[in-house]
């Protein structure tokens, strides 16, 4: 297979959060009142149009919408974006399309809207099912909300669900780490991403 026949992967960054976590070194910013959602999607689509000729004929095999907290955006905006990707570059029929979601911002109707828009994989940033550890991480959700978010994704007919869980957290015991994994497994997601907390320069935890 020639390189020009290999489908591409597309990453789309939505940089706003309700609250920036103290360990996060990503390009993310706490939102101020109303998000510039329409203008940002307009800018992404304009950029896509400018660059589309560089990948003509390749097509997109996977799309990953990360952040930040992409689930802050409406399903209508995500649908506009995906329609533009399909129109400008071509989107494979079996493309995997992922959106990241923060349990603290989940909305059942929005989850269903993402699914209807063509998103077929959701990655939920649970990080822990221990409220004390979640507080230490500066997260805006609690353990019960995390479980509700996963169930909401299932009710929205997401068959491909990832749960992010972290370990080596401040003050975390081996028992707590094991309990987090057990609770993640009990929710029967398609995939669990298990990350070690990394202390990055220029973050509050460093």
CATH numbers and ranges of domains, the chain: 3-196 (3.20.20.70)
Per-residue model confidence as pLDDT tens digits over 39-63: 999 999 999 999 998 888 788 999 9
pLDDT confidence of 9, banded at 50, 70, 90?
very high
| 167 strand-pairing partners | 196
Please, what is the average pLDDT of the chain?
A: 93
Half-sphere exposure of 173 (CA within 13 A, CB side): 5
* Sole residue written with tokens 């929205």: 156
Whole-angstrom CA distances from 53 to 83, 111, 117, 183 are 17, 32, 25, 46
* pLDDT for 2: 57
Q: In the predicted model, what is the mean pLDDT of residues 138-166?
A: 97
Place of tokens 């669990």: 192
Q: What is the pLDDT of residue 99?
A: 98
Beta strand pairing call for 29-30 and 60-67: unpaired
**Percent of the chain with pLDDT strictly greater than 70:** 97
pLDDT at 201: 85
Specify the pLDDT at position 200: 85
- Record the pTM: 0.93
Query: Are 19 and 125 contacting, i.e. CB atoms less than 8 angstroms apart?
Result: no
Kindly calculate the radius of gyration of the chain based on its CA atoms and give it in whole angstroms.
18
**Cβ neighbours for 183, distance < 8 A, ≥ 6 positions apart:** 129, 143, 147
Neighbours of 134 (CB within 10 A): 22
Residue 1 has pLDDT above 60, yes or no: no
Give the pLDDT confidence of 103-115 residue by residue, as tens digits. Answer: 999 889 999 999 9
CA dist., res. 127 & res. 139, Å (int): 9
């Amino acid at each position: 297979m020639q390189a020009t026949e290999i489908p591409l992967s597309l990453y789309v960054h939505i940089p706003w959060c309700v609250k920036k976590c103290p360990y996060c070194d990503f390009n993310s910013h706490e939102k101020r009142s109303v998000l510039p959602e329409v203008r940002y999607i307009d800018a992404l689509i304009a950029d896509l149009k400018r660059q589309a000729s560089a990948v003509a004929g390749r097509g997109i095999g996977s799309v990953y919408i990360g952040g930040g907290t992409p689930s802050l955006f409406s399903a209508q905006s995500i649908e506009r974006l995906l329609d533009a990707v399909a129109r400008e570059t071509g989107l494979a029929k079996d493309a995997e399309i992922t959106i990241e979601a923060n349990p603290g911002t989940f909305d059942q109707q929005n989850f269903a809207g993402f699914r209807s828009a063509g998103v077929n994989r959701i990655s939920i940033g649970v990080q822990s099912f221990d409220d004390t550890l979640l507080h230490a991480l500066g997260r805006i959700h609690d353990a019960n909300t995390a479980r509700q978010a996963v169930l909401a994704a299932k009710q929205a007919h997401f068959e491909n669900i990832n749960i992010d869980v972290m370990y080596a957290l401040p003050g975390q015991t081996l028992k707590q780490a094991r309990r987090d994994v057990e609770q993640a497994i009990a929710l029967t997601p398609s995939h669990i991403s298990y990350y070690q907390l990394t202390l990055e320069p220029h973050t509050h935890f460093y």
